[in-house]
Amino acid sequence: MSPIEIGSVAIAALLVLIYLGMPIGITMLAVSFAAVAAIRGEGVSMRMMGAVANDSLREYLFAVVPLFVLMGLLVTVSKVGKDTFDVFQNLFGRIAAGLGIATVFANAVFAAITGISIASATVFSRVAVPEMIRHGYTRKFATGVVAGSSVLGMLIPPSLLMIVYAVLAEESVGRMFLAGLGPGLLLALAFCVTIVLLARFRKDFVFASADDFATPPAMGAREVLTKSVPIVSLMLVVLGGLYGGFLNPTEAGAAGALGALVIAILRRSLDGRTFWKLLVETGQITVSVLFLILAATFFSRMLALSGVPRGLAELFLAGPIGPYGFLLLYILLIIALGCLIDSISIMLILLPIALPIAEAAGFDLIWFGVLTVVAVEVGLLTPPFGLSVYVIKSAMDDPDLKVGEIFRGTWPFVMAMLVSIALIVAFPSIATWLARL
């Protein structure tokens, strides 16, 4: 067999083994090892695996992963998310569907200090959904808003998916963070417009009944200020330091983790046992992410050795499909895979194949990365996988709430995400103007 044939068989074997339930990291390592051994021999495969383990994980940059994960967990345990929702509820709660808009903005701000969509889904399913139901909104709409806006956690910086993409594409993490800001705000605006349109034209979707709608009580200026200070302080430390050029991404993560720790201690929401559990959870998440990155790096080198990406680039770019035909197929494939596997796994499988084609097509890799992250996040809302939906179901403690009801509530927000993807494709400067300053 030729190297390209071996690489093609390796990709097919990877997809089959993942479908059969084999862990993705182990599958990628095993398939890559076997393919390199078939192309160059077992000795070369062993040496390449050792080189990958050394090269892919010794970067100083990787310290940012546990730091941002720890910051997100500390922020969650210190109830900053509830305070964020309370502040925006006070601002928007008196307008039609105002609590839905408040949830979107609260998620956007919470995303700026966590970077993990699942954390947002967990917090706001417990904070926002009961409040919205109590004030006359349908469960379908309340859970759909929380699930939809939770995806902002992986787009608005700091973002774990942006870090993974930056590593695989060999792009600057800081520039990827900057690139996510414009699309993140666009997506938040698209969600708000969707909520307003639903409240106007599909009242039965939003409100349980016209009589049930109630106005939340207003907070005093002092209470608003007290609840805003921790959020604003963390955003100034992390984003201000990062965008102001005072801190690199790793230092910003360290400063944010320290700030979140101080807030949790001052609020007395953190005892020794809880802190230890958070450290263990941080370690588990970090190790799983780094192991997947190691496996994806080996997979990428195997593909480069086989020549598959080069062959695909020639096939797509020289044929009738063209660069934007490839881009459309790539986005559709991501959304389809999002129905089956998690976000990071999709990126680790597809990017080693797609990045060389995107580069050959002349695409800006920062812009391509933003499109990838938004498309991947659609998978958090679509059945049957829909991780954000299942997180909300497990966090709600409501036996009458059905998973199908949450999925129905997310569809307007999936449509809003698809429109946002189209806008980013049509106007690349939405993603690139900040990153290229």
Cα 244 vs. chain centroid, distance in angstroms? 24
Per the model's pLDDT, the better-predicted residue between 221 and 370 turns out to be 370
Please report which residue ranges of 20-138 form alpha helices under DSSP H.
Answer: 24-40, 42-57, 64-77, 80-92, 98-111, 117-134
Per the model's pLDDT, the better-predicted residue between 194 and 82 turns out to be 194
- Give per-residue pLDDT as tens, 161-184: 888 888 888 888 888 888 888 898
Distances (CA, A) of 356 to 32, 142, 154, 169, 350: 18, 41, 24, 9, 11
Q: Which residue's structure tokens are 């105002």?
A: 98
Partnered with residue 47 across adjacent β-strands are none
Q: Phi-psi category of 342—alpha, beta or left, where left has phi over 0 and alpha has psi -120 to 50?
A: beta
The overall average pLDDT reported for the chain is 82
- Give per-residue pLDDT as tens, 38-50: 988 888 888 888 8
Distances (CA, A) of 389 to 33, 46, 142, 195, 363: 36, 41, 12, 18, 33
d(CA 293, CA 310): 22
**The pLDDT value given to residue 366:** 92
pLDDT surpassing 70 at residue 216 = no
- DSSP category for residue 221: H
- Give per-residue pLDDT as tens, 143-156: 889 888 888 877 88
DSSP per position, 3-29: HHHHHHHHHHHHHHHHHTT--HHHHHH
**The pLDDT value given to residue 421:** 94
CB 285 within 8 A of CB 278: no
pLDDT surpassing 80 at residue 375 = yes
Per the model's pLDDT, the better-predicted residue between 246 and 120 turns out to be 246
- DSSP category for residue 55: H
**The pLDDT value given to residue 212:** 45
Partnered with residue 137 across adjacent β-strands are 207
> Contacts by 341-344 with C-beta closer than 8 Å and gap 24+?
341/18, 341/24, 341/379, 341/385, 342/379, 342/385, 342/387, 343/117, 343/154, 343/161, 343/376, 343/377, 343/379, 343/380, 343/387, 344/160, 344/161, 344/164, 344/289, 344/292
d(CA 369, CA 181): 13
Distances (CA, A) of 408 to 138, 142, 204: 12, 11, 13
d(CA 383, CA 100): 22
d(CA 355, CA 398): 43
**Structure tokens given for 28:** 């990628």
**The pLDDT value given to residue 276:** 92
> Contacts by 318-326 with C-beta closer than 8 Å and gap 24+?
323/361, 323/362, 323/363, 324/425, 326/357, 326/361
d(CA 399, CA 282): 30
- DSSP category for residue 284: H
Most distant CA pair in the chain, distance = 74
pLDDT surpassing 80 at residue 374 = yes
- Give per-residue pLDDT as tens, 402-415: 888 888 889 999 99
